[in-house]
Structure formats: structure tokens, C-alpha cells
Amino acid sequence: MTPPHNYLAVIKVVGIGGGGVNAVNRMIEQGLKGVEFIAVNTDAQALLMSDADVKLDVGRELTRGLGAGADPEVGRKAAEDHKDEIEEVLKGADMVFVTAGEGGGTGTGGAPVVASIARKLGALTIGVVTRPFSFEGKRRGGQAETGIGSLRESCDTLIVIPNDRLLQLGDAAVSLMDAFRSADEVLLNGVQGITDLITTPGLINVDFADVKSVMSGAGSALMGIGSSRGEGRAVKAAESAINSPLLEASMEGAHGVLLSIAGGSDLGLFEINEAASLVQEAAHVDANIIFGTVIDDSLGDEVRVTVIAAGFDAGAPARRPVEAQPAAARRNPIASVVPGDSGADRYGQHHLDRDRDRVPARAAANSAPAREELDDDLDVPRFLR
């Protein structure tokens, strides 16, 4: 008689290119559990510095291990030349995250190749990438947009993190190293917000099939992160997440939402309910909301909320402009979307009446003087402060 097997979801994180490999190193450093790490690069020297479980040098013949020279075509060809090796390391995965910094060579050109192979193997494929800072130049920005478009077609779900919005979370004295470290940290939280739901036991458990129901074929997605301590911590963290400067658009219209609430063992049912209700109000009225909790006593009295919204009717949420907003405006993301012309790179007109009617009490509460002193806690997640 064959003994029963206990099957666990096999999750692999592939960092491709310099930015992707740096992000993987950050995830390993922070102790992300339950996943296998794979580093892919055309730069052999940078690859040697990685702590990933598997290292794949795809630049041996084409670039002689010297990198792609910020040319996405070189990155694409290098990945295609090593398709068999990439397929071999991805075999058996139920979920594959492809992470990269868009705008360069290896990540921009190679990420769609890796994602296509993962989907062909039947894995739920999620892209988590950064859009470059404006100061990195128009050429890099243009290459990033092209790469994001290609990756979107190759993934089930694509989360794009705009580096420019990280400037809204820091002060004028932030160093370049700290800025890029913050970008790596956000990539980490994008992956961790999903994987922890599956791999970490909680008060309310979520399995791989639940996550797949939201993420499979969902297209573009938005991610918001928030944290808070003290009285009303869960709802404040949820407010911070749906108001996050990382969100390029409103959550309105999202048909699928993954909601992760992490806290210590004292996390209460009623505070969880209040936070989840707030997120539900911000999404589509018929949204499929997959909700789970993660118990992590290392957080102390902090509650951390991660919201990933996907499944928009138009295929992708309309982009919001990157500009510094007053704290009061950021606290109500649904009412602060800038209207304009439709189009891939313009800002879509959002219909806000439903949400305004639905949450007047919440908006009034947000404007109360007693809440003003909490602005910093609401607007800036603790890990970025």
C-alpha cells in the first residue's frame, strides 16, 4: 500500500538581471521562507555575489559573462539561448515569481522569456518588477515600458512598482543606496505578501488554489502596503495600504483582491473585520476577495497589511501622475484620482460616486483633528520609515 503524501505548493522566485538578483539577495537576507531562489544574469561577476539556491549564467557565449550592456535585445537572446537550462530549474514549480528591474538589458529582455517558460510548464506566473526612476533617463524609461508590455503578455499577473513613488516615502537627504534598497524592500514585500498567505499558518488560512483563483490570467495588478501600532492599528494599516504612494491608480474596479493581515498572536477578530471591510469598500462590489492572516510574533504590536488588487475591466488600471500629494489627499485614494484622457500612458476617468456614497463616515473620521497626529504612521509603512 502506498503511503499518503503531504503535498506543499512549490514556489520559486527568479531574479533576472542586476535589479532582480539584488532583490533576490534582499529576500534571502530578510529570511523569506518556503520558496526556492534562482538568480539569472549575463554578468558572471554579479552572479558570484548572489546567495541564491540556483545560479544560472546565461551570458557565457553571447556576452562572455560581461553583461548585456543595457541592451534588452541582448538580454532576450541570452535567455533564449539557455531556454533548456531555464526550463530545467523551473520544473515542478506550482508558482513562479519573476522579479527584475525594468529598463536595463538582462532583466528587461530576459524576464518575458523566463515567464513564458514558467507558464508553458503550467506554473502560476507572477511578475514583480520596478519601473526606473525618472533621473535614470528617457532611454531607460522607454526600454522599461516596452519590457513591461512584453512581460505583461507573458505573466498571469504583473505588479509594477514605480521607483519614482518611493521618493514620496523618503526625505530629501535619502542616499542613492537607500533609495534602491527601498525598491528591493518593496519587491520583497510584494512576493512575501503572497507567499506568506500560502506557506505560513494563520487564524484564517489561504491555500494555493485560493491565490490562483485571483491571480490566474488577471493581467495588471496594484500593490499597497501599510503598517501601524496602537489603538485602531489594523484599520489604520489598511487605510495606509489602500492609500499607499506605491499605488499608481485607484483600487476601484478590481475584481480580485488578495488581502494579507500580519500581526502577533494578539491579533483580534474585530480589528481584522474592520480592516477587511475597509478594503472591501475600496474594491469592486462583486470582487473576489481572498483574505488571510499571518501570525508573526516578531512584529510585536505592529499590524502589517498587504493589498494586491487585480482583474480590472479595462485590462490595466489607469495610471496616476507621480507627484507629491498632501497627506490629506493620500488618505482618500478613491477620491484623489486625477481624471484625463484614456490610453495606456494617460490617466483614466474614474467613476467615484459609488465609493463616495459608500464611505462618507470613514472619510469624515479621517479628517478629524485627533487623527492628524497619526499622519506619519498612516502614510509611511514602518519598514520604509
268 has binding-site annotation: no
20 has binding-site annotation: yes
**Looking at the predicted structure, is the pLDDT value of residue 335 above 90?**
no
Q: How far apart are CA 278 and CA 359, in angstroms?
A: 9
Is 107 within a domain? yes
Domain end position, chosen among 199, 230, 256:
199
Which residues does 299 contact at the CB level (< 8 Å), separation at least 6? 262, 263, 264
Is 4 within a domain? no
**Which H or E run includes 225?**
strand 219-228
Q: Residue 258's domain is classified under what CATH number? A: 3.30.1330.20
User: Rounded to two decimals, what is the model's pTM?
Assistant: 0.77
19 has binding-site annotation: yes
Q: Into how many domains does the chain fold? A: 2
| Containing structural domain, residue 225 | 221-384
Q: How far apart are CA 345 and CA 321, in angstroms?
A: 10
Which residues does 350 contact at the CB level (< 8 Å), separation at least 6? 250, 252, 253, 318, 334, 337, 339
Report the percent of the chain where pLDDT is more than 90: 45
Going by their DSSP bridges, the two strands 303-310 and 219-228 should be labelled as antiparallel
242 & 377 share domain: yes
Q: How many residues does the chain have?
A: 385
205 has binding-site annotation: no
Is 214 within a domain? no
88 has binding-site annotation: no
64 has binding-site annotation: no
Note the pLDDT tens digit of each residue in 253-306.
Answer: 889 999 999 999 898 889 999 999 999 998 888 999 988 888 888 889 999 999
10 has binding-site annotation: no
Note the pLDDT tens digit of each residue in 139-183.
Answer: 999 999 999 999 999 999 999 988 888 777 667 777 878 878 888
202 has binding-site annotation: no
Strands of 303-310's sheet in order across: 54-57, 36-41, 11-16, 95-101, 124-131, 157-162, 219-228, 303-310, 256-263, 288-295
Dig out the grid coordinates for 7 from the structure: 503535498
Among the listed residues 143, 305, 165, the one whose alpha carbon sits nearest the alpha carbon of residue 249: 165
149 has binding-site annotation: no
